[in-house]
Amino acid sequence: MNFKINKFRPLRVLIMLLSIISASSWANDDRVSFNSGWLFSKGDHIDAAKSEFEDSRWRKLDLPHDWAIEGPFDKAYSARNGGLPVFGTAWYRKHFTLPKSTLGKSVSITFDGAMSNTEVFVNGNKVISRPFGYIAFEFDITPYLNSPGDENVISVKLSPENYSARWYSGAGIYRNTWLEINDKVHIKQWETFVSTPTITKDKAIVDYKTTVINTEKSSQPVVIKTSIKSAEGVVVDEVAQNTILPANSEHKIQQQLKISQPRLWDTEDPYRYTVVTTVVKDGNAVDVNSVPLGVRKIEFKADDGFWLNDRRVQIQGVCLHHDNGPLGAIVNTRAIERKLEIMKEMGANSVRTSHNPPSPELVELADKMGILLQVEAFDMWEIEKPAVVNGYNKDFEQWHDRDLRDMIKQYRNNPSVIMWSIGNEVMEQRKDDGWKVAKNLQRIAHDEDPTRLVTNGLSMYPDFIDKGMAQEMDIVGLNYKAYKYQEIKQAHPDWIIVGTETSSVVSTRGVYHFPIEKYNKHESKYVTSFDVITPPWAYIPDLEFENLKNNPSVMGEYIWTGFDYIGEPTPYGGRDHGNKFYWNQDWPARSSSFGAVDLVGFKKDRFYLYQSQWTDKPMVHVLPHWNWSEKVGETIPVFAYTNAEEVELFVNGQSQGRKRKGEDKVRLPVSLRYDKSVKYFDSPYRLRWDVEYQPGEIKVVAYTNNKVVSAKTIKTANKAAQIALSPDRKVLSADGYDLSYITVEITDTDGNLVPDADNKINFKVEGAGEIIAVGNGDSATTAPFQADYRHAFYGKAMLIVKSNKGMAGEIKVTASAEKLISSSVVLVSQ
């Protein structure tokens, strides 16, 4: 199956919108931010939907906003959801005035997502309700508005329920909102679809479809002009079509264009064109819609995996939840961009949006950064998962068709999206007729987008085969079935297979437990970073590497997970799909340990294990740290991860010998649910030396063709003496959203990280910025994320600074702690 696809996302001209929209700030047919000037209050306020409701004492804030991340952490809330108040009722209200120039226009509002059970009222009139917290929705408010120049009030009630998710969902209007004023003749949002049925070296044929709305009481003759522009702004083709739009109608438009010698969108060259459509009425342009277009070919082969632009590409994917660590669920473009940058550095080329529709910002960034997306719709269908009694199953019957269609319409034009996922580990796998639900969802996906295949994360082996669900899928997604790849492929050679969820190792950055052995829990409530601990259903990364190598027809994997996320503190508190509503028996463990990167973005050792398999740039990594004063003279295991041929270890300058990757294997403890006889795996993906500990330094030198290609040294740190600050960015945009992530390290006088330091660090920010959050990667603490202090966790902490809106200038950041030399850094907001 060869699918030649391209994709764009509807994109209007964006203008900053004040809470009062004045004529001077408004441009006709613009889509503008609706984030500023909201009022917020928790509680189920009677009459809060009414315009005249007294709200002058409510809290003033700008969106996006997540009330749950503000805490406090409390054992009364389930650690499965982060120990935070993700349920309850709250209201948002906004007073706004439209200019007189909007008279006779069509006015709509878009929410990119609101968590959840949303009800929206305009001037006391209920306009819309939408239960699914991850879905974007648009609604027309024209009939409910007061006259231009008069005040309007929009009221939004949210009522997320307890036991509604298996992870931290957040709460509130946590994604962006938009207001759009159009002529009564305009292009309908999310109804544009561009595809490229023909792509050759010489040309790409572009099929363009859209829907134009006419809400006038009479028919309207219009001209639809469509052009394709290169990234450099050069028009490469254009067409014009005269048509008459019937009164009060929606009219579908189809056009065909051509790109000569197209430049393809690719992971290494994410080049996009722009499709610009102008609606001309009475000689005037009344609507202009610009959408990006990526020209690329995708192909899925049962015998040879995934192909992009006529070459095989191994899926090196990560599953990512939607939260942004200490920021909570709020959408922030820089936070998402940084997350994707770190994943790309690890070697990841794909993201699975587990287990829900993503934000537009993530998809747009994936387009621009060349990251392949598996966009997922649901974690649950009709049957509830154990202990998730208020999940999507309550709304599935009424809303699944609309929600799935809306998700696909929103993102079917983005070139980064290569497949849709309709579910994850759904309970219907074990039902005789569960396949019917899968078949229907896949039908809906094909109806809205015939250019992409559909997958489904299947976990219940062999039920998903015996009951027929796998047979219905375009792509058979397998969760934690690496050791079944060969068996399944032999039985079903025509199946296209991907590892939709793999490995699930748990570890805590900076923590090392001796000896190296399997355990269920550790009294510290943390997990060793030797990366051998997994839940019962899972296995170490090395087993996935080995089975993918031996089964090259499998297109690749999506590891669980790229980043730690809030909630599901496995192995502490409970077990996945277990019957415990509250995972608090190991309190305060309240965040996951699955990530290759911790909650604030610090790299764990496992990051480098994946990097050693997924990248070609020479690298070598060594672990553990070298501060073991209580173990002088004892044997310490030293591991190295590399993509080179050989590694030599030096301890205090003395060579401990070279070891060759793939030949000098490392025996690792394992346990497999489906084969209890397997107790260990001899891994060709790691190197190990057992050496006597003496303080000083360890150094690893990597060789390829007997030449040094990389090296790394770790020294024994002396007493903590000072603080070091390292911002990821020193220049910010003064838009009130841009961020700088400042790494805070406790070091000795020579600048060596003190790996066991836990000093309390106080922060002061002066000038054109402010603290938005703090963190340190500690998965078992109730310290608040919104504060001006943080304890170091194994030597490190993170300070996240946000620019102030409209305020240019310097931002001075100072970190101090008792008995340590303080440190300052200056950022610039412009």
Query: Any idea what DSSP says for residue 80?
Result: G
Cβ-based neighbour number of residue 515 at 10 Å = 8
pLDDT at 17 over 80: no
Q: pLDDT category, 676, cuts 50, 70, 90?
A: confident
**Residues with a known catalytic role:** 425, 501
* Sole residue written with tokens 């087993």: 543
Q: pLDDT category, 611, cuts 50, 70, 90?
A: very high
Residue 78 CA neighbour count, 13 Å, CB half: 24
Helix, strand and coil percent figures for the chain, each rounded to 5: 15, 40, 45
- Whether the ω angle into residue 333 lies within 30 degrees of 0, i.e. cis, is no
pLDDT at 319 over 70: yes
pLDDT at 29 over 60: no
Q: Model confidence over 388-407: pLDDT tens digits?
A: 999 999 999 999 999 999 99
Cβ-based neighbour number of residue 337 at 10 Å = 17
- Which pLDDT does position 11 carry in this prediction? 30
Q: Model confidence over 193-245: pLDDT tens digits?
A: 999 999 999 999 999 999 999 999 999 999 999 999 999 999 999 999 999 99
Are the C-beta atoms of 759 and 792 separated by less than 8 Å?
yes
Could you tell me the strand order of the sheet in which 646-651 lies?
A: 654-660, 646-651, 697-704, 707-715
- Which pLDDT does position 288 carry in this prediction? 94
User: Do 620-715 and 187-294 have the same topology in CATH?
Assistant: yes
**Looking at domain 187-294, does it have CATH number 2.60.40.10?**
yes
pLDDT at 6 over 70: no
- Which pLDDT does position 112 carry in this prediction? 98
Q: What is the dihedral of CA 744, 745, 746, 752, to 10 degrees?
A: -160
pLDDT at 21 over 80: no
Q: pLDDT category, 580, cuts 50, 70, 90?
A: confident
pLDDT at 608 over 90: yes
Close Cβ partners of 573 (under 8 Å, ≥ 6 residues apart): 79, 80, 580, 583, 584, 585, 586, 587, 589, 590
Q: Model confidence over 482-515: pLDDT tens digits?
A: 999 999 999 999 999 999 999 999 999 999 999 9
- CATH label, 722-829, candidates 3.20.20.140, 1.10.10.10, 3.30.1160.10, 2.60.40.10: 2.60.40.10
Close Cβ partners of 564 (under 8 Å, ≥ 6 residues apart): 325, 591, 592, 593, 594, 595, 597, 598, 599, 777, 779
Q: pLDDT category, 574, cuts 50, 70, 90?
A: confident
pLDDT at 551 over 90: yes
Residue 181 CA neighbour count, 13 Å, CB half: 22
- Which pLDDT does position 688 carry in this prediction? 98
Residue among 298, 305, 299 at smallest CA distance from 497: 305
Domain 310-614: top CATH class: alpha beta
pLDDT at 252 over 60: yes
Q: pLDDT category, 12, cuts 50, 70, 90?
A: very low
CATH superfamily of 620-715: Immunoglobulins (2.60.40.10)
Provide the percentage of residues in the chain whose pLDDT is more than 70: 97
pLDDT at 14 over 50: no
Q: Where are the domains of the chain?
A: 30-182, 187-294, 310-614, 620-715, 722-829
DSSP assignments along 109-132, one per residue? EEES--BSSEEEEETTEEEEEE--
Report how far residue 409's alpha carbon sits from residue 134's, in angstroms, rounded to the nearest whole number.
Answer: 15
Are the C-beta atoms of 551 and 486 separated by less than 8 Å?
yes
Tokens of 821: 């030399």
Q: Is 372 helix (H, G, I), strand (E, B) or coil?
A: strand
**Looking at domain 30-182, does it have CATH number 2.60.120.260?**
yes
pLDDT at 247 over 70: yes
- Which pLDDT does position 671 carry in this prediction? 87
User: Which sign does the torsion angle of CA 339, 344, 347, 348 carry?
Assistant: positive
- Which pLDDT does position 578 carry in this prediction? 74
Q: pLDDT category, 297, cuts 50, 70, 90?
A: very high
- Which pLDDT does position 24 carry in this prediction? 29
- Which pLDDT does position 521 carry in this prediction? 95
Residue 110 CA neighbour count, 13 Å, CB half: 21
